[in-house]
Amino acid sequence: MDRVLIIGAGAAGSVVAQKCAMDRDTFKHITLASRRLSSCEKVAALCQTPIEIAQVDADDVAATVALIKKVKPDLLINMALPYQDLPIMDACLEAGTNYMDTANYEPREEAKFEYSWQWAYHDRFVDKGITAILGCGFDPGVTNIYCAYAQEHLFDEIHYIDIVDCNAGDHGKAFATNFNPEINLREVTQRGKYWKEGEWIETDPLAIKAMIDYPEVGPRASYLLYHEEEESLVKNIRGLKQIRFWMTFGEEYIKHLDVLTNVGMTRIDPVMHKGVEIIPMEFLKTLLPEPSSLADDYTGKTSIGCIFRGLKDGKPLAKMIYNSTDHAETFKEVSAQAVSYTTGVPPVSGAKMFFTGEWSGKGVFNVEQFPAKPFLEDVAKRGLPWYVLDVADGEHAELFGVET
Model confidence over 329-356: pLDDT tens digits? 999 999 999 999 999 999 999 999 999 9
| Average pLDDT in the chain | 92
Q: What's the whole-model pTM score?
A: 0.92
Of residues 312 and 112, more confidence is placed in: 312
- Answer yes or no: is pLDDT of 250 > 80: no
Q: Domains along the chain?
A: 3-134 (3.40.50.720), 142-336+385-401 (3.30.360.10)
Choose among 21, 169, 177, 10: nearest CA to 102: 10
Of the two residues 279 and 166, the one the predictor is more confident about is: 166
Strand 3-7, strand 29-34: pairing: parallel
For the chain, the residue count is 404
Interval 12-32: pLDDT, tens: 999 999 999 999 999 999 999
pLDDT, residue 179, reads 61
Task: Report d(CA 243, CA 146) in Å as an integer.
Answer: 14
Cis peptide before 50 (omega within 30 of 0): no
Count the neighbouring beta carbons within 10 Å of the beta carbon of residue 264. Answer: 12
CB 122 within 8 A of CB 93: no
Distance CA 328, CA 210 (A): 28
Q: Residue 292: pLDDT band by 50, 70, 90 thresholds?
A: low
* 21, 42 contact by CB (below 8 A): no
Please state, in angstroms and as integers, the Cα–Cα distance from residue 82 to each residue in 7, 186, 328, following that order: 12, 12, 28
Q: What is the pLDDT of residues 25-52, one digit of tens each?
A: 999 999 999 999 999 999 999 999 999 9
List pLDDT tens digits, range 130-147: 999 999 999 999 999 999
Query: Could you say which DSSP state residue 141 is in?
Result: B
Other CB atoms within 10 A of residue 48 CB: 12
Which positions ≥6 away from 136 have C-beta within 8 Å? 100, 101, 102, 346, 347, 350, 367
Backbone φ and ψ for 178, nearest 5 degrees, come out as: -85, -10
pLDDT tens profile 345-384:
999 999 999 999 999 999 999 999 999 999 999 999 999 9
Q: Which residue has the higher pLDDT, 340 or 252?
A: 340
What's the distance, CA 61 to chain centroid? 23
Mean pLDDT, residues 78-103 taken together: 96
With contact defined as beta carbons under 8 Å apart, do 145 and 367 qualify? yes
In this prediction, residues 195-217 reach a mean pLDDT of: 94
Per cent of the chain over pLDDT 90 is 76
Mean pLDDT, residues 67-88: 96
